[in-house]
Chains A and B, each alone.
Chain A
């Protein structure tokens, strides 16, 4: 123990006083700003910026690898495939993006002789798409294009040593650009076959694009040094032909009308050879300098900050060739103000800031404060934002209306369903018994109730796999599932449970028991649940099956095990869903195509449904152009599915998007991912509202400091009094 030195009270109190003084000074300084909780730099105030958030970091930003929604949010603003969807018109319609017109298609027979445009699909050996891009389109500034005084590439011969101090693209002092040519599209198509890139579109497209699979075999053999650049320009792709600087042709095997939709995806966006070569230099990938991280495009925006740990920033591409806001839409668009900016140059906002927001509570609160311009409406916030009117129409709550918000809703091109494994001996197969069992369950599971309870109405109950807004989908009575519904008072009404019990009895399970053995019918439902609310969902499902006295056993596993069961076909019933790649019924009806069954071919037919009649119709339908004949075939296919009931057709998601009053031109449409260029922000109104809503309330600081003082002061007084007390009371008198 150290000898006692004089202890001063100030030794302790001085630091406390200093902390108080520092806190008061900080607060006084903060008081200079009118808004304290603004999460953005003060230098950005009043600027034409669109603020949004992302919840999951993108894995791939290489257009040949990326295939998920959260990546599309960025990629579709940067890259320009040949085509795009009309922003306002529905059903979705393709229009040119970097091309002068929609591609022209020529059909050839198997010997290469031309066929008329209305040739029978069976006779068509090849389809040749000719695509002509607009001249004068230039790439965003990029160091891969930088040249020195002699016109030679500035950064295309770097050594590992020269790259050592580079960590991001802005570390390269110079940049350049060049004009987009047809070679860039051809180069990208070859990249689909690149053995190191694992494009998710390769397998499908290799079945159509002539020579693509052969190219991959040749590239795999040539790719001996995995660290070196594989120059694709040295390898021919027989199915793609360069006509001139602005024109190229793609030759497909057979007829594939859905191919044009692929031309609206980043898989067909141009990638310059220089970029591939630039990022393939020694030392680049070790420093995270890859095309997968730094996209290079000709679109309205370019990625200027790629920090998926915190924020991603898109800024206006100074070399953008320009585009104008559409002047035509669907009925109601003019009244909604969506045509007010007709013909104006795009994009409207200069910068888009995406902040990483993993949790819904801070996301929602920042939106309410005006720091995000738009927000989805999740289950947690639904009651706060939306109420239903007497007719069941969704309306904003008074609080949201007072804040000037508007609600945009749209049925999404998705389907969520509960599938039967058609390989299962109890629920599967094409026997009458199994079909009636599936039909009975389809009636008993009340999807309307599910949507109401668990989705707060954010879903439209499905009558078939095809969602609204997709060509080929029938609405009204024609589209109703007659196995499950009756048409009553102008709308479908779910059949009575007695009908389900009758079907169940005919299936050999009266009162939920096997008529031969007397054993209760037990059905297993596989899920990947475990999250919040999962228990109540399981309870609800048990209740639905108990209507038929069927015992339901829910088997909850992680997603890996669940996928494993699906691949092996050991699940009996399961939850799954599908997001459309493109707005064609083929993209939903192929989910029942026998040759694409999950167990047999690892395809997307998760129910393993096999029906030769259906498959034959599918083969015909997929190669047909839109028209009455195709519609009739689709109707027949849908009827087959409704009768065979391989799925309980669940629901189509309904997107609820809230936007602040300063936003305009927003129209919901999940298929249209390159929508950022249409968004418009009234910056002055946003600044005004933010200041109104976020004025700091200062009095709690004073109260908290006062409370702290109130705790400390009695202690100090008591301590000082105690220190002054005598051990023996002073009994002296004056």
Chain B
């Protein structure tokens, strides 16, 4: 397995290079270094001299990919792409265009993002699995049909509706929790209740529909019939046999997102005033801060690759027949 993991990590290097190249190209298609300078220097009374100085100080006065004026390898290394990209592979993200330490910001904002994403992920997984199993237990009854209809209705509703509706009902009409904000220590639980609840409710529809399908596929297999024939209680049949054997497709979807939980949610964080990485990314895009955008995309790519490796490893844990070679 170790060899497999090492090989996958080595594969990651060209993938990350490609992602970095693509991000760089896309960003500079719509934003020139002059645009970035203007955004940082302000709208009023910005002179071409000030823009030139800003670019020069931050290394944006070089060519993008190829420096025809330079000698030998410097033709490639004395460029914006090389100078801005190479340090990231050592996880040195440098400074944002407004001069802040990106690594420090990411470390600070990771906590609030996880504070929402982790409970939402775990609880919604538990709730959706429980709901799907309940539907399977009462399959082909009105409870099952009603559950399916409810799931379709819930997955048809926009996540924005859950957020705005949740804030209106729970915070404004019933005054049960703060509408938005973020606290310190234990107090932050008050602020997390509603976004977590909204996150769970928002994920039930699609999750339960999908898991129900996985469970139904297993529920009619011979080993399940055998277990029932032996008199195993239905609850044990579902939790011990059906759930365990339906784990591979569930893991495929679930484990891969675990590392990405660090990145937070763009919309939820914005509406609930959570100072996480999701809102950091949005702010960076709005302010054309390339240093932050490329760092967040890089981290996202790394985490996704880690997620895929973890998914492969998790297969071996739930299915002994699988061997990673």
Contact = CB atoms under 8 A, between A and B. Distances in A.
Interface of A: 1-2, 4, 7, 9, 11-12, 35-39, 41, 57, 59-60, 67-68, 167, 195-196, 198, 200-204, 226, 285-288, 290, 292-293, 307, 309-310, 355-359, 361-362, 365-366, 368-369, 558, 560, 563, 581, 602, 604, 694-697, 700-701, 714-715, 718-719, 722-723
A116 B35 CA distance: 48
B99 interface: yes
Contacts of A581: 44
A627 B171 CA distance: 57
B232 A7 contact: yes
Contact of A356 (B175, B235, B275): B275
Nearest to A581: B44
Contacts of A368: 172
B164 to A, nearest CB: 6
A368 B100 CA distance: 35
B287 to A, nearest CB: 8
Given A11-B239, A359-B180, 10 more contacts: A35-B175, A67-B44, A68-B42, A202-B50, A285-B99, A696-B175, A697-B173, A697-B176, A718-B138, A723-B233
Nearest to A700: B174
B61 interface: no
A293 B96 CA distance: 14
A507 B271 CA distance: 52
Contact of B176 (A36, A196, A718): A36
B113 to A, nearest CB: 11
Interface string B72-115: 00000000000000000000000000111100100011000000
B167 A286 contact: no
17 contacts: A4-B232, A38-B178, A57-B283, A59-B287, A67-B45, A68-B42, A167-B104, A201-B45, A362-B179, A365-B179, A366-B179, A563-B38, A602-B48, A696-B174, A715-B134, A718-B138, A723-B233
Interface in B220-259: 223, 227, 230, 232-236, 239-241, 244-245
Ranked 9 nearest A-B pairs via Cβ: A7-B236, A309-B275, A39-B181, A39-B178, A362-B180, A560-B35, A310-B275, A697-B174, A694-B175
B132 to A, nearest CB: 13
A714 B137 CA distance: 13
Contact of A307 (B245, B270, B275): B275
Contacts of B227: 4
Interface string B27-45: 0001110010010111111
A614 to B, nearest CB: 21
Nearest to B134: A715
B30 A558 contact: yes
A203 B235 contact: no
A288 B100 contact: yes
B46 interface: yes
A200 B241 contact: no
Contacts of B46: 200
B175 A602 contact: no
A196 to B, nearest CB: 7
A200 B176 CA distance: 47
A560 B177 contact: no
Interface string B104-143: 1000110000000000000000000000001001100001
B175 A695 contact: yes
B182 A198 contact: no
A722 B171 contact: no
Contacts of B234: 719, 722-723
Most buried by B among A2, A204, A366, A581: A366
A369 B54 contact: no
Contacts of A558: 30
A697 B134 CA distance: 32
A629 B60 CA distance: 50
A287 B101 contact: yes
A39 B191 CA distance: 8
Nearest to A714: B143
A362 B271 contact: yes
A198 to B, nearest CB: 5
A361 B273 contact: no
Contacts of A67: 42, 44-45
A290 B275 contact: no
A45 B240 CA distance: 52
A2 B275 CA distance: 45
Contact of A696 (B57, B176, B275): B176
Nearest to B164: A361
A297 to B, nearest CB: 20
A700 B172 CA distance: 13
A200 B175 contact: no
A12 B235 contact: yes
B163 to A, nearest CB: 9
A4 B230 contact: yes
A204 B46 CA distance: 10
B168 interface: yes
Nearest to B274: A310
Contacts of B99: 285, 290, 292
Most buried by A among B32, B173, B181, B280: B181
A204 B31 contact: no
A37 B279 contact: no
B98 A357 contact: no
Most buried by A among B45, B57, B172: B45
A701 B101 contact: no
Nearest to A36: B176
A285 B100 CA distance: 8
B49 interface: yes
A286 B101 contact: yes
B18 interface: no
A203 B50 contact: yes
B172 A365 contact: yes
A204 B31 CA distance: 27
Contact of A4 (B31, B240, B279): B240
Nearest to A355: B181
Interface string B181-212: 11110010011000000000000000000000
B116 to A, nearest CB: 14
B158 interface: no
B45 A204 contact: yes
Contacts of A701: 176
Contacts of A604: 44-45
Nearest to A13: B235
A714 B49 CA distance: 75
B279 A358 contact: yes
Contacts of B288: 560
Contacts of A286: 101
Given A4-B227, A696-B175, A697-B175, A355 B167 contact: no
B69 interface: no
Contacts of B43: 68
B273 A362 contact: yes
Contacts of B191: 39
Contact of B49 (A2, A203, A356, A700): A203
Contacts of B271: 358-359, 361-362
B179 A200 contact: no
Given A359-B271, A715-B143, A198 B232 contact: no
Contact of A361 (B50, B98, B167): B167
Contacts of B171: 37, 365
Contacts of A365: 167-168, 171-172, 179
A427 B109 CA distance: 51
A546 B235 CA distance: 71
A196 B45 CA distance: 17
Contacts of A203: 45, 47, 49-50
A563 B235 contact: no
Nearest to B223: A1
B7 interface: no
A560 B241 CA distance: 58
Contacts of B174: 696-697, 700
A239 to B, nearest CB: 20
Given A60-B98, A288-B104, A198 B50 contact: yes
